[in-house]
Chain A
């Protein structure tokens, strides 16, 4: 029996010494490097997006220059869809629906200020450590593991290219380790000159296209007219934006909560004829969980790439500010 006690002791020793071996801040500085690389580097490549059991291939081209960031994403499977992003505008082009959704990022997110100030807050919600070095898309990568400390968020595995820090693979997993979603570059070229041609919108979106302007206006949090009675450990309110949401639904109030990696949006809009038909309760679209409820003549939609219980808690916690 003594022997087994010794074995247990050794197990505990191993757990401890492993934690000590990870120099504090080291995996965190990797996260900073990953974020910076994604914004400052030129790259072009093909990646596979997996959500549950489904796959889709897309091509991405990113150019960062003196005048800022320019990006083009094109889905290669199924119906053609593309996203064009510049400093001043994001356009989501859906040729089959003849729809273009446009958003203008607010000033504070213009390159390069969009870099998160620090990932230190993440340690409140995740255990962060370095994993093994392995190959992705033919390049050596360092694995960074973010393991959730509670059941209100998913786990994240990030594979960053050793030299540049560019994220080549990202996986989001649930508590059983099942893949919720995954991005993997199958082929990527980092650095070099990229022709402007590669960034051009492929589909002309004029004529009888439906243009949805999703541009939001920042709202002072004391004047939103709504309060959040629920608290979600690790998640803080980032900003409140008033934005039009197409189909004559009027304006929606959009509150964004984030723990540094995962984010939850809460939309509040007046009930219209459209929204009266909207199905309530829990829904999901791919890796994103959605929870809808009615309150006080308003439709509340909470959604995010987090477990349903988290979006539900925020969705249920929202209430009109008492007069």
Chain B
């Protein structure tokens, strides 16, 4: 499918083939993320978007260093720059670029509706907790009563009533006062 995506970006797909690809992109969040990433990588390679300043240079250097990769069998003859570049660019840029692309997707509110599904996966890595600090005995939180009163007035949203109260009794947020 990724082949088809890059072919689409290269404008190498005929009209009949475009529709199914678009449909798949539409249905499959992970494909949509790939699409977003390709669009951004394309922007960066073209210089339309400010990315890591030496990204293009680095990618190009790597490409020069490994010329054999640029000669895929047969179809490569008429393959557009996209099909040639994408797998390579993706592998060269590796984690750094993926992280950067994710970051870009994140920080652009306008693109977020498309991006969030893909962002999920990246967020997992970001949210891997550090060592879990043991919860020590509760300290007197001067704000607990305020928080309790706040919770009691705001129940009724999607989060069930009593679950919300965990904020009132929780000690996880009180490190600042310890």
The chain A residues found within 8 Å of chain B, CB to CB, are 3-4, 6-7, 10-11, 13-15, 17-19, 21, 31, 34-35, 38-39, 47, 49-56, 58, 60, 62, 69, 71-73, 75, 77-79, 81-83, 85, 90, 92, 94, 96-97, 101, 103, 105, 109, 114-116, 127, 129, 131-132, 145, 147, 158, 167, 170, 173, 175-179, 181, 183, 212, 214, 216, 238-239, 241, 243, 245-246, 254, 256, 258, 260-261, 263, 265, 267, 278, 283-288, 290, 301, 303-305
User: Complex formed: what's the CA distance from A97 to B80 in Å?
Assistant: 70
Q: Are A34 and B172 in contact (CB under 8 A)?
A: no
Over the window 73-111 of chain B, the binary record of Cβ atoms lying under 8 Å from chain A Cβ atoms (1 yes, 0 no) is: 000000010000000000000000000000000110101
- A101-B148, A114-B155 known; A83+B162 contact, CB < 8 A: yes
Q: In angstroms, how far is the closest chain A Cβ from the Cβ of B5?
A: 11
Segment of B50-58, B61-69, B128-136 engaged in the interface with chain A: B128-136
A10 surroundings in chain B (CB, below 8 A): 8, 22
User: Complex formed: what's the CA distance from A62 to B119 in Å?
Assistant: 34
Q: In angstroms, how far is the closest chain B Cβ from the Cβ of A138?
A: 19
Q: Which of A15, A129, A145, A303 contacts B146 (CB 8 A)?
A: A303
B119 surroundings in chain A (CB, below 8 A): 177
Question: Which size bracket describes the interface of B in this complex?
Answer: 35 or more
Q: Which of A94, A147, A214 contacts B152 (CB 8 A)?
A: A214
Q: Are A285 and B153 in contact (CB under 8 A)?
A: no
Q: Are B147 and A303 in contact (CB under 8 A)?
A: yes
Over the window 136-178 of chain B, the binary record of Cβ atoms lying under 8 Å from chain A Cβ atoms (1 yes, 0 no) is: 1110111111111110111111111111011111111111110
Q: Are A78 and B137 in contact (CB under 8 A)?
A: yes
Q: In angstroms, how far is the closest chain A Cβ from the Cβ of B168?
A: 6
Q: Are B8 and A55 in contact (CB under 8 A)?
A: no
User: Complex formed: what's the CA distance from A107 to B163 in Å?
Assistant: 21
Q: Are A288 and B152 in contact (CB under 8 A)?
A: no
Q: Which of A78, A131, A304 contacts B136 (CB 8 A)?
A: A78
User: Complex formed: what's the CA distance from A179 to B109 in Å?
Assistant: 17
Q: In angstroms, how far is the closest chain A Cβ from the Cβ of B16?
A: 16
Q: Are B113 and A19 in contact (CB under 8 A)?
A: yes
B3 close to A (CB within 8 Å): no
Residue of A nearest to B143 (CB): A285
Residue of B nearest to A304 (CB): B150
Beyond A3-B10, A303-B150, list 17 extra A-B contacts (CB 8 Å): A18-B113, A19-B113, A49-B170, A52-B172, A52-B173, A53-B133, A72-B162, A101-B144, A103-B149, A103-B152, A109-B155, A131-B29, A170-B158, A178-B127, A263-B154, A285-B173, A288-B147
A and B contact pairs by CB, cutoff 8 A, 10 listed: A10-B22, A51-B167, A54-B135, A55-B172, A83-B166, A83-B168, A101-B145, A101-B148, A179-B123, A260-B157
Q: Are B158 and A261 in contact (CB under 8 A)?
A: yes
Q: Which of A7, A69, A78 contacts B135 (CB 8 A)?
A: A78
B106 surroundings in chain A (CB, below 8 A): 176-177
Q: Are A177 and B123 in contact (CB under 8 A)?
A: yes
A179 surroundings in chain B (CB, below 8 A): 123, 127
Q: Are B114 and A38 in contact (CB under 8 A)?
A: no
Q: Which of B26, B126, B148 contacts A21 (CB 8 A)?
A: B26
User: Complex formed: what's the CA distance from A60 to B164 in Å?
Assistant: 11
Q: Are A265 and B150 in contact (CB under 8 A)?
A: yes
Q: Are A71 and B140 in contact (CB under 8 A)?
A: no
User: Complex formed: what's the CA distance from A129 to B116 in Å?
Assistant: 11
Q: Are A56 and B160 in contact (CB under 8 A)?
A: no
User: Complex formed: what's the CA distance from A112 to B63 in Å?
Assistant: 65
